[in-house]
């Protein structure tokens, strides 16, 4: 496996980082909590065109999503990217911002016939809802106008990525897709979420390390204390391991190798675990200041946990991985 | 980022596999959970058997001992990527190159970098295994704090007189030469008074006492130096300039070890899965969930090693590699401990007739306990990462 970035991949990484540094400051993140519409110009002026990533290699997408998670970019890009993955299975082009409705109350992306779907990201901010129904053996994809479905916001940890319950009764039957095509979409979506989580973890860790260097107690920087150093090292280790797992999974999916499902579940479980660990460490290292609403660290902490839960938490993916390992 | 390697690299691997099929003796294929030898004499003291000497020489003669070196040094001018493919191919098959890594992995590279023309001449035999080397570093009072070493070499012009004691010296009982760190200036700051000497183990005054470790075997020794006369031409590098070389030596040791450690973890996971099925525990989710997480960690560490390698091959330092030793050594312990736990009360048994796989999980666990101590303890590794990778201030 060759982790060397191509020139184009390096450009994706740099462009994304520069874009979010410029266009997505902490102030935007903070105000998006109350007013999601403040993120609209960023979507319209920049992010909409990045949806082309859905047709590029997953490796490219993971590089972008790590920067996206690091900056905790609010808005409809994430749900639209997932929607584009699903829409491509029926050769549909989405006209604008979109989202995906699959999961029932357990949150897993298993095709089903429930009339209410939960954990639908950004549903009230988008124009189209891609609905997946049927069963894992016979999935179907339908596309509905968001204005024609009723929905309700779920009460949740992470309002920067609001989740909705959506009533899909009365939506047309849609088109059949192959179970393999659906599997491919699930893999892409899981690695995309995992890449974002690595970015979230990266912000949490970097901010903790930076703070530990400047915060003085007992006449010296707190980052000189071994107890705190080891906590940061162990979090960094878990994060680097997750970052490698995510890139590896992307390469496996891109190459369509038999190991892909193993690598995908591994990536999601590593990334969710690493982001959560970095969140706890970062809050602990920041001490009282990080516990204030005003500081803003909690937005990333919320995403670490909500992102881990999205499409099933670490434990769920560990069990899917176990199923694969013990079926062989 | 892509999974596939170039056609040239695939051809390289193909040639290696053909060579292994033709030449690798069955004994070299015994799975080793750690570098070391299963070959011991009646007293449990390590010996180097004939097959191992011949195998290492065969690797050297065919350019497969250290592929990145030129043919005269047992290589074939392989690229860094090819070297990693080589190490992984061997590790995945549980094939060892040598029973004594000190000579080819530490002494030879250090001599080639720091030695004079005469000393460089010793490198090929060190790599081929014709000369067995031991490394005199740790002392009773100098473990993690290596620079505190007190074995002294007094400068008598034409020669040095060495007095002191080394400990945890691997292979000392079979070595012909010792790569020995000694204090040549007791007044200088501790890092600036250390020199490196080549000491022939048959010099009068050198005494080796095998040191039995907790598995019952003895591959380490204590080495005592009592008025040992060492010719001045055996000084490597500059007088008092030995510390620089120790840093290089440890770097060589770490650079090549992650591949074998990761392969060991992956093999352990595979074997644990087989044991679980054998014991009929595969429907216990609390167990399978734990195994899946360990599988995930092992596979991810492999990816992390390769990811670090991508930066390394382009000449940048790789943060990933700093994490490998601490992660791998701790994961190995967890895996072997799980292998024991699965046996219930049997975890306390080493009876070949009663314990799973003849008690090898218990042995492997005891062996793995050394991995978080030797070559830099996990605690020292964490301090180094905190300061050098994360840039945190010194305690």
- Which residues of chain A have a CB within 8 Å of the CB of B395? 224-226, 229
The C-alpha of B394 sits at a distance from chain A's nearest C-alpha, in angstroms, of 5
The residues in A 251-280 lying below 8 A from B, measured between CB atoms, are 251-252, 254-255, 257, 262-263, 265-266, 269-270
**Residue in B276, B300, B387 closest to A245 by CB:** B300
Q: Containing H/E element for A221?
A: strand A220-221
Question: For B110-136, what is the mean pLDDT?
Answer: 95
Query: Considering the entire predicted model, what is its pTM?
Result: 0.93
Nearest chain A residue to B278 by CA distance is A326
**Residue in B3, B5, B314 closest to A257 by CB:** B3
Distance CA B302, CA B320 (A): 11
The C-alpha of B192 sits at a distance from chain A's nearest C-alpha, in angstroms, of 26
Q: What are the pLDDT digits (tens) for A173-202?
A: 999 999 999 999 999 999 999 999 999 999
The residues in A 192-231 lying below 8 A from B, measured between CB atoms, are 209, 212-213, 220-221, 223-226, 229-230
Residue A75 scores a pLDDT above 50: yes
Q: Domain B245-389, what fold?
A: Butyryl-CoA Dehydrogenase, subunit A; domain 3 (1.20.140)
A134 confidence band (pLDDT: 50, 70, 90): very high
Q: Containing H/E element for B22?
A: helix B7-23
Nearest chain A residue to B323 by CA distance is A237
Q: CATH classification of B133-238 is 2.30.42.10, yes or no?
A: no
Question: For B351-371, what is the mean pLDDT?
Answer: 89
| Long-range own/partner contacts, residues B276-282 (CB < 8 A, 24 or more apart) | B276/A326, B276/B342, B277/A326, B278/B356, B279/B342, B281/B342, B282/A326
B291 lies within 8 A of chain A by CB: yes
β-pair type (B206-211, B220-231): antiparallel
**Residue in B81, B310, B395 closest to A226 by CB:** B395
A59 lies within 8 A of chain B by CB: yes
Chain-centre distance for alpha carbon B107 = 12
B382 and A233: CB-CB below 8 Å? Answer: yes
The residues in B 348-387 lying below 8 A from A, measured between CB atoms, are 382-383, 385-387
In this prediction, residue B256 carries a pLDDT of 57
A322 and B389: CB-CB below 8 Å? Answer: no
The residues in B 60-119 lying below 8 A from A, measured between CB atoms, are 81
Q: What are the pLDDT digits (tens) for B300-347?
A: 999 999 998 888 777 777 778 889 999 999 999 999 999 999 999 999
In this prediction, residue A168 carries a pLDDT of 95
- Which residues of chain A have a CB within 8 Å of the CB of B2? 1-2, 59, 251, 254-255
Distance CA A254, CA A234 (A): 30
Distance CA A101, CA A141 (A): 10
* CATH value of B7-128 in 3.40.50.10470, 2.60.40.10, 3.40.250.10, 1.10.540.10: 1.10.540.10
- List helix spans (H) across chain A: 7-23, 26-34, 40-42, 48-50, 58-71, 77-87, 179-214, 226-255, 260-286, 297-309, 314-327
Q: Which residue(s) pair with B136 in the sheet?
A: B180
Every domain of chain B and the residues it spans: 7-128, 133-238, 245-389
The residues in B 248-287 lying below 8 A from A, measured between CB atoms, are 273, 276-277, 282, 285
Which CATH class, in words, describes the domain spanning A179-327? mainly alpha
Residue B168 scores a pLDDT above 70: yes
In this prediction, residue B34 carries a pLDDT of 39
Q: What are the pLDDT digits (tens) for A84-120?
A: 999 999 999 898 899 999 999 999 999 999 999 999 9
Of B37, B57, B55, which Cα lies nearest the Cα of B45?
Answer: B37
Other Cβ atoms closer than 10 A to A10: 12
Q: Which one of B279, B280, B287, B292 makes the best mutation probe of the A interface by having the most chain A beta carbons within 10 Å?
A: B292
How would DSSP label each residue in B256-287?
Answer: HHHHHHHHHHHHHHHHHHHHHHHTT-TT-HHH
* CATH value of A76-177 in 1.20.58, 2.40.110, 2.60.40, 3.10.20: 2.40.110
Question: For B80-102, what is the mean pLDDT?
Answer: 89
Question: For A218-242, what is the mean pLDDT?
Answer: 97
B36 confidence band (pLDDT: 50, 70, 90): very low
Chain-centre distance for alpha carbon B302 = 18
């Amino acid at each position: 496996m060759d982790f060397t970035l191509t020139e184009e991949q390096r450009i994706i990484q740099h462009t994304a980082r520069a874009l979010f540094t410029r266009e997505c400051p902490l102030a935007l993140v903070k105000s998006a909590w109350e007013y999601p519409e403040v993120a609209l110009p960023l979507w319209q002026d920049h992010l909409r065109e990045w949806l082309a990533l859905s047709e590029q290699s997953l490796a490219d997408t993971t590089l972008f999503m790590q920067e996206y998670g690091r900056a905790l970019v609010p808005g409809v890009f994430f749900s639209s990217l997932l929607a584009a993955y699903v829409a491509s299975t029926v050769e549909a082009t989405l006209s604008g911002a979109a989202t995906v409705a699959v999961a029932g109350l357990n949150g897993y992306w298993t095709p089903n016939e429930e009339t209410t779907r939960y954990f639908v990201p950004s549903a009230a901010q988008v124009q189209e809802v891609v609905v997946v129904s049927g069963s894992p053996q016979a999935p179907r994809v339908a596309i509905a106008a968001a204005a024609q479905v009723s929905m309700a916001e779920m009460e949740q940890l992470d309002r920067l990525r609001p989740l909705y319950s959506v009533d899909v009764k009365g939506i047309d039957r849609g088109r059949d897709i192959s179970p393999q095509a659906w599997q491919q979409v699930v893999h892409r979506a899981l690695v995309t979420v995992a890449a974002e989580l690595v970015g979230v973890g990266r912000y949490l860790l970097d901010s903790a390390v930076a703070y530990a260097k400047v915060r003085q107690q007992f006449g010296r920087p707190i980052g000189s204390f071994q107890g705190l150093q080891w906590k940061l090292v162990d979090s960094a280790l878990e994060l680097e391991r997750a970052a490698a797992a995510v890139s590896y999974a992307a390469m496996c999916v891109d190459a369509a190798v038999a190991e892909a499902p193993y690598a995908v579940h591994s990536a999601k479980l590593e990334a969710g675990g690493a982001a959560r660990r970095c969140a706890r460490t970062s809050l602990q290292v920041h001490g009282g200041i990080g516990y204030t609403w005003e500081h803003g660290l909690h937005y990333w902490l919320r995403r670490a946990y909500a992102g881990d839960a999205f499409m099933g938490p670490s434990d769920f993916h560990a069990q899917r991985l176990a199923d694969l390992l013990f079926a062989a | 980022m892509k999974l596939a390697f170039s056609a040239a690299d695939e051809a390289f691997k193909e040639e290696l596999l053909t060579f292994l099929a033709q030449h690798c003796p069955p004994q070299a294929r015994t799975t080793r959970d750690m570098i070391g030898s299963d070959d011991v004499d009646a007293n449990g003291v390590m010996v180097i058997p004939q097959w191992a000497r011949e195998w290492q020489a065969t690797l050297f003669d065919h350019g497969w001992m250290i592929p990145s070196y030129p043919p005269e040094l047992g290589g074939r001018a392989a690229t860094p990527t090819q070297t990693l493919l080589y190490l992984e191919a061997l590790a995945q098959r549980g094939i060892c190159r040598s029973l004594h890594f000190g000579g080819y992995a530490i002494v030879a590279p250090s001599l080639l970098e720091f030695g004079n023309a005469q000393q460089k001449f010793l490198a090929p035999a060190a790599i081929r295994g014709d000369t067995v080397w031991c490394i005199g570093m740790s002392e009773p009072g100098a473990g993690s704090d290596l620079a505190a070493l007190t074995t002294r070499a007094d400068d008598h012009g034409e020669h040095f007189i060495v007095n002191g004691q080394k400990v945890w010296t691997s292979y000392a009982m079979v070595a012909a030469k010792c790569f020995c760190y000694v204090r040549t200036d007791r007044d200088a700051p501790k890092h600036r008074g250390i020199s490196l000497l080549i000491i022939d183990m048959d010099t009068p005054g050198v005494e080796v006492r095998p040191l039995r470790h907790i598995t019952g075997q003895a591959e380490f020794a204590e080495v005592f130096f009592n008025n040992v006369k060492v010719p001045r031409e055996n000084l490597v590098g500059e007088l008092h300039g030995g510390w620089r070389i120790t840093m290089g030596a440890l770097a060589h040791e770490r650079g090549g070890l992650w591949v074998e450690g990761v392969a060991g973890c992956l093999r352990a996971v595979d074997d644990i899965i087989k044991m679980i099925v054998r014991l009929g525990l595969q429907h216990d989710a609390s167990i399978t969930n734990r195994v899946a997480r360990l599988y995930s960690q092992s596979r991810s560490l492999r990816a992390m090693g390769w990811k670090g390698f991508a930066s390394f091959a382009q000449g940048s330092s790789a943060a990933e590699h700093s994490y490998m030793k601490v992660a791998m050594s701790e994961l190995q312990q967890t895996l072997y401990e799980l292998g024991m736990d699965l046996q219930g009360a049997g975890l306390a048994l080493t009876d070949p007739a009663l314990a799973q796989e003849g008690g090898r999980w218990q042995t492997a666990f005891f062996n793995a306990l050394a991995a978080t101590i030797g070559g830099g303890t996990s605690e020292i590794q964490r301090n180094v990462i905190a300061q050098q990778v994360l840039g945190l201030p010194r305690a």
